[in-house]
Amino acid sequence: MALTISAIPNKQFAPTETLTIAKLNLLGTMTLSVSGTASSGDLATGAVTSSKAQAGAFFFGTTAGTSTAYTLDLGAGLRPDSLADGVTLRAKLHTAMGVAATLNPTGSSGSALGAKAIRRPGDVIVSANDFDSNQIVDFTYNTSYNSSAGAWVAQTTEAVPSPAIVADSRNLVVKSNSVSPSSKVDVTADAILLVDNISDTDYHRSILRTSVSVTIDTQASNGANALDSGSQVANTWYYVYVIFNPTTGTTAGLMSTSATAPTMPSGYTYLALVSCIRCNSTNSLRKFWQTQRRLHLAPAVSGASFDAEVTFITAFTGPNIGTWVAASAASGPTQAISALLPPIAKTAFGIMGETETSASSTIAVAGDDDPLYGFQAAVGATNAAASYGFTFGAPFEVPLLTSQDFYWSGQGTAVNRIVILGYTI
């Protein structure tokens, strides 16, 4: 360390004059310049105290211990010597955080300062996997948190807890491709929220993709914008995903028979489930149009006949009114209800009707047999009026309390028809 003292030359001394402190004081204002590096041995005892250094102090290290009881050794050098408001630490987590985790850093004395709760701003308890392994988190001590027992408040944004479910989106449209509707699916959206594909936890990071526009070709090679496996669609349900590669910044589409764990192409780590559509028996996709979470099927209509792909019951006499039958248990449907409604459907909508062969016929649907959630009914004329087509009918939409099922009832000798025109997911 070098110390330089210079004076303002405003007084002259004789060459033989003896200098004294009093005379030196007459030189006026002095300029002090210090350069070099001060080591810990250069600091006097008490030069650095909690009141002088802790508010706004900054320390870094890697945690040890367990996911619910972190320890933090800050190494040699300047460290906090007590817990006070404003002490700030930065720690790299060695393992993902557990529920109600604590943090116990080592102080300047070389001893642990004591385990204190980790909280979110607002004095909110931390949940499992709020913060990931190898994530660097800033902590600031607050003596008032945790019922005034003190807590380390995590200032870093946690991983977003969101499983791979139907995506939050704006202006989402999923539909059959206009040129190749049997093999291609178009997905567009102003914005879609995707989450990372972590299979061992329900807590994920999220990313927002805007101006999304992808086309999935089920006859292309497996991978991005294609099926995740298989050479062509089979007679089953297919789940439609939007996926993202954070390394290349590429957004794509993917279709899979898995509702929770599609086989992701290399480099793609984010996904959002946006739709579910079934392939028919001729290995081609049903034609459909979906806005947000509401999907409309496109049946072929000819006179009073609906495409069998969307007709649940036809030429079928129903039970007496008040006797409810689960659609999955009904005999004689043209198309099984499990082939009309996907496992993730929340409501089913369509049209119900009868061709009367006796007076006072009735048909009704509901989400359950007791209580009758979403109960809706259509009642015919008081006189018999057998004729071609629906003598009477009505639209319906019912909740699906049981996956791929709803309940129906009927009265009178009539031909019943329930046509599934779409569903919400």
Kindly report, residue by residue over 331-374, the tens digit of the pLDDT. 667 788 898 999 999 999 998 877 665 666 778 899 998 889 99
Question: pLDDT-derived band of residue 259, with 50, 70 and 90 as boundaries?
Answer: very high
What is the domain range of residue 244? 169-291
In a domain, 45, yes or no: no
* 178 & 267 share domain: yes
Q: What value, to the nearest 5°, has the Cα angle with vertex 292 and ends 289 and 298?
A: 15
Tell me what pLDDT residue 128 has: 78
Looking at the predicted structure, is the pLDDT value of residue 119 above 50?
A: yes
In a domain, 312, yes or no: yes
22 CB-near residues (< 8 Å, 6+ apart): none
Looking at the predicted structure, is the pLDDT value of residue 129 above 50?
A: yes
**Phi, psi (degrees; rounded to nearest 5) at 217:** -105, 110
139 CB-near residues (< 8 Å, 6+ apart): 88, 89, 90, 91, 103, 118, 152, 153, 154, 155
* 84 & 68 share domain: yes
Q: Which of 68-82, 83-97, 241-255 has the lowest mean pLDDT?
A: 68-82
Tell me what pLDDT residue 381 has: 59
Q: Give the type of residue at 349.
A: F
Mean pLDDT, the chain, whole residue set:
81
Looking at the predicted structure, is the pLDDT value of residue 153 above 90?
A: yes
Tell me what pLDDT residue 34 has: 57
In a domain, 63, yes or no: yes
Tell me what pLDDT residue 52 has: 43
Looking at the predicted structure, is the pLDDT value of residue 306 above 80?
A: no
* 185 & 131 share domain: no
Tell me what pLDDT residue 164 has: 43
Of 154, 189, 214, the position where a domain reaches its end is 154
Question: pLDDT-derived band of residue 161, with 50, 70 and 90 as boundaries?
Answer: very low
In a domain, 364, yes or no: yes
Q: Which of 104-118, 172-186, 291-305 has the lowest mean pLDDT?
A: 291-305
Tell me what pLDDT residue 213 has: 97
